[in-house]
Amino acid sequence: MNVFKLLLVFFLWALCFPLIELGQASVPPLVFATLRALLAGLTLLVIASALKRPWPTSVRAWVQIGAIGLGATSLGFWGMFEAARWVSPGLATVVANIQPLAAAGLAAVFLKETLSLKTLCGLVGGFVGIVLIALPSFGQNGPAGPAVGFGFLAISMLGISISNVVIKRAVTSIDPLVMMGLQLVFGAIPLGLASPFLEANRAIEFTGAFGLSLVLLALPGTALVYWLWTDVLRRMELSRANAFSFLVPVIGLALGWTFYNETLSPLTLLGALIVIGGLAAANWPSQEDQHVPTH
């Protein structure tokens, strides 16, 4: 069941990218990100209230939720949106996918997760596959400011990595619906405050295409994804679950080939196979797994 949920999570995540492109034609990125986070967060909170889910009562829980919102939503969304202005898609893909490796290191230090050689080899293999997939697009649409782009990508990667560790630590004590709803709303606040200063000269046009992309991004693409992800982390080690994120570019390639007749080079196909192999290695059950309870 965890594998099915993870496949659904990253399939929906892969669908987000064309929807973002559709919406950004009408609305500046930070405005778009703010509305996406608010709609997703408020939807989760309405559902949580209808189901009478408990809200956090301790200061520690509220601090954890604030940290998740700042990392996953504020820094994660902002860094990725801004990085697209400065680096090529291939370079952005490679740097962004260092995140599972960074999160695995943080999980080993702060969550005391055992990073086995099998899991480490799977994560490294998945990253190598991502590099091969991204190679054909290196240098495409790459503005002359890669150092700035690297900075924004690092901000995004660090924010998401830290938030995943906090989610894993907090998920057993805070209701997932409430936690994800609140973090999205909290995370939207800095994005909304920054937009007038960073996007003052950008026109806003609320079109039907934008409305459709916003609803699809916010509900299945964010609210459902975050809830499923949090539910998985209640039962699975972060490093192993995070390895599935390498599938996002692979799913994107499959969608492009299926619906847009995009050509896949032998190098790209090799990279996809290596990603799948790395994912299998990271999650292949061992004798130890049969005796160690999952989180």
291, pLDDT greater than 50: no
- Whether residue 244 is contained in a domain is answered as yes
- Whether residue 173 is contained in a domain is answered as yes
- Whether residue 145 is contained in a domain is answered as yes
- Whether residue 266 is contained in a domain is answered as yes
Total domains, the chain:
1
**The pLDDT value given to residue 69:** 98
- Whether residue 176 is contained in a domain is answered as yes
- Whether residue 205 is contained in a domain is answered as yes
pLDDT in tens, 54-77: 999 999 999 999 999 999 999 988
Instruction: Read off the pTM.
Output: 0.84
- Whether residue 30 is contained in a domain is answered as yes
- Whether residue 295 is contained in a domain is answered as no
Q: Which domain holds residue 62?
A: 2-290
pLDDT in tens, 14-59: 888 788 878 878 888 899 999 999 999 999 999 999 999 999 999 9
**The pLDDT value given to residue 93:** 62
Residue 262's contacts (CB-CB under 8 Å, 6 or more residues apart) are 253, 256
